[in-house]
Structure 1
Amino acid sequence: MTLWQGACHCQAVRFEVTAEITHLRVCNCSICHMRGALNIRVPRAALQLLTPWEGLSPYRWGGGTARDYFCPTCGIMPFRRPSDPTAAERAAGVPPFDGWAVNARCLDGFDIGSVPLRAIDGAAI
């Protein structure tokens, strides 16, 4: 596993994440499409915030189970808690995910062209 350093644009929000990045998730839901984030998913314990939680602004949308965390100064979203599966997804066997989606564009020194992209059909949810 690799320890990555990450931050928002203005560096007010700093974090570390332990992950082997094998692909990046490109979601087509309305917010991910507009944001342009390329995410990796990691377990809850893999993300360590190095700045106080009070320095972040949370945003909830849709079903209200996802939480996007933004820097209130520069507006960048370095990571988010993905939404819980819908009833239809649970019925189809989609397990809940208790971790983080980290914006790989916020990782220091990570080459986003070094791994493949995986399309996620979030718009269908």
Structure 2
Amino acid sequence: MAYDLNKQIGHLLRRAYQRHTHLFQTAIPDEHLTSVQLAVIATIFREGERSLMYIGRVTAIDHATLRGISLRLKQRGLIRIRSNPDDRRERLVSLTREGEEAARLYIPQAAHVTELTLEPLDPCERIAALHVLRKLAGA
């Protein structure tokens, strides 16, 4: 049985993601900021202070990965983490002033990266691609 990589969804998704990641790294001047870290910053920027569990659910980042991301963002001074006074087991995350500045600067640039990623597609294909990806992602 022939196994043509260019007909395999996982291979094509990985290639598309590699292209998107390259565009992100080129467009965002902060070489230490990943698209997943920006997803966390953008969520907090939009939602305000939230629990790590909530952020993980919204961003679809598993708890162990999110803890590492949060630690790196905290070390960079972009977020603060505190215990919830009503439930000491729960960690609440908010943006620092530097984190808010990063969000205001990088969120529009990241939106432009989406446009660059979709650039090879015509308007109808863009709508279809996003629809199909949302469906595949269960979103």
TM-score by length of 1: 0.29
Choose between structure 1 and 2: higher helix proportion. Answer: 2
TM-score by length of 2: 0.27
Higher RCO structure (Cα 8 Å, ≥6 apart): 1
Larger-Rg structure: 2
Choose between structure 1 and 2: higher strand proportion. Answer: 1
